[in-house]
Structure 1
Amino acid sequence: MAILLVYDVTDEASFNNIRNWIRNIEQHASDNVNKILVGNKADMDESKRAVPTAKGQALADEYGIKFFFETSAKTNMNVEDVFFSIARDIKQRLADTDSKAEPQAIKINQPDQAAGGGQAAQKSACCG
């Protein structure tokens, strides 16, 4: 239903791997899978940061990823927001899909209004 793409803001190599992961998603995942980009370790000192926030947001924009967050698993910064956002997005996608779906019910014992001009269908000779 959803894929969290998580990189370490202090490790540019992990950020650069996001593009490879997105290619894998495009090849192997459902087209409508919800994606979210997360830069973790946002609690680290700025001197240790290798990936600026703007660069993470630009990557999310480039791939049309609706949600981008910077988080800290250590301090719990934005962690709940990530999961609530993706859950709401999945719920909305499913609701949109359900409202677009046509009913698949088959109606039995009802006359065909188009063929009979509103008259009841004739009975078959086999059933009386």
Structure 2
Amino acid sequence: LVKWTSSCLLMFCNDGAHFQKNYTLVSHVELFLFDSGGKELFAEILDRLWEQPNALCIVYDVTSEESFNNCTKWLEKLRAQTSGMHIPGVLVGNKTDLIDRRVVERNQAQEWAETNGLEYCEISVKEMENYEAPFRILANSFHQLYKEKVETFRSLV
């Protein structure tokens, strides 16, 4: 399950000329993306969709301390749904193009991500800067989980 900001999800889904929708790694990885846009309105739907997530992407606005602080709430909600299992994922700082309005520093967010077992990257969807990085991280995380499950299965045979 992926939590994503609407503009980034639209970029990913509709702009195939700039970003490949499917990854060819050792095996094919397809991502199911659910975009809540951070809205509480979707909280009930998320409870049903978060039954067995494989990876997580939390996006915050680097110009909003409230947006960054809400990342903790979303992560706690996911962990409550998954009985504390470690879910790999990525924390994404968006709107890096708004340099003069930035209030959440990169090192602060990086530290939060590391503390919570997530990778970290920054993007500007508006300027189309690095927006593909979170998707690569998610695909690689999912592929790693797949490889681990295959190895576990092989060891049982």
1:26 corresponding residue in structure 2 = 79
Q: Is 2:132 aligned against 1:80?
A: yes
Q: SS where residue 79 of structure 1 aligns? A: coil
How many residues are matched?
101
| 1:16 partner letter | N
Q: Distance in 2 between the 1:77 and 1:6 partners?
A: 15
Deviates more, 1:30-39 or 1:50-59: 30-39
2:141 corresponding residue in structure 1 = 89
Q: Is 2:58 aligned against 1:5?
A: yes
In structure 2, runs of 5+ residues without a counterpart are 1-53
Any idea what the Cα deviations from partners look like across 1:23-42, whole Å, max 9, x if unmatched?
10111137243221000001
Q: Who wins on radius of gyration, i.e. which is larger?
A: 1
Distance 1:29 1:77, change over 3 A: farther
In structure 1, runs of 5+ residues without a counterpart are 104-128
2:68 corresponding residue in structure 1 = 15
Q: SS where residue 50 of structure 1 aligns? A: coil
- Asked whether the equivalents of residues 92 and 121 of structure 2 are also in contact (C-alpha less than 8 Å), the reply is yes
Q: Which runs of 4+ in 1 moved over 4 A?
A: none
Q: Distance in 1 between the 2:75 and 2:128 partners?
A: 26
Q: Given the alignment, which residue of 54, 57, 64 partners 2:107? A: 54
TM-score by length of 2: 0.60
* Identity fraction in percent: 32
Q: Distance in 2 between the 1:28 and 1:84 partners?
A: 25
1:18 is displaced (CA, Å) by: 0.8
